[in-house]
């Protein structure tokens, strides 16, 4: 099984999360993954970067608590608020509902969304370290 290691202390926000993803998964590529949850999901299907097809992969996420905090409520709120500035591109009603759920403590943080995306890929084992 291939093992890849994310370093949580390298992650301060969404941009540095993707910098870490690119460092680990895209080192052998001549292009970089953009800051996009959809792009992250596509990457995890394999076919480019460090994952070749549906091979079994273990991701060891060191200092995961640091990442959980960095990609928590504040970061998620700022991410969603930025989307509200572009009603031509994003569903502001849906984003408003996401913000409301976040404020009530029932919404998912960016970190939780990332964890869910990783969990959707049965060939990937996530190890919190």
Q: Is the pLDDT of residue 124 over 90?
A: yes
Domains of the chain: 2-67+121-128 (3.30.370)
- Predicted pLDDT at 53: 82
- Predicted pLDDT at 96: 95
Contacts of 18 (CB under 8 A, 6+ apart): 32, 33, 34, 35, 40
- Predicted pLDDT at 74: 97
- Predicted pLDDT at 12: 97
| Strand order across the 124-128 sheet | 2-7, 57-62, 124-128
pLDDT tens readout for residues 10-69? 999 999 999 999 999 999 999 999 999 999 999 999 989 999 888 999 999 999 999 999
3-state secondary structure of 101: helix
pLDDT tens readout for residues 60-111? 999 999 999 999 999 999 999 999 999 999 999 999 999 999 999 999 999 9
- Predicted pLDDT at 102: 95
């Amino acid at each position: 099984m291939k093992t890849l290691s994310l370093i949580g202390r390298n992650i301060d926000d969404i941009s540095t999360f993707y910098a870490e993803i690119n460092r680990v998964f895209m080192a052998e590529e001549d292009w970089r993954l953009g800051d996009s949850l959809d792009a992250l999901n596509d990457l995890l299907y394999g076919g480019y970067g460090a994952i070749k097809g549906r091979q079994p992969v273990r991701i060891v996420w060191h200092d995961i608590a640091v990442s959980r905090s960095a990609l928590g409520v504040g970061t998620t709120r700022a991410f969603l608020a930025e989307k509200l500035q572009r009603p031509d591109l994003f569903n502001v009603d849906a984003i408003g509902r996401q913000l409301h759920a976040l404020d009530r403590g029932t919404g998912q943080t960016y970190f939780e969304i990332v964890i869910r995306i990783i969990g959707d890929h049965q060939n990937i084992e996530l190890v919190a370290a």
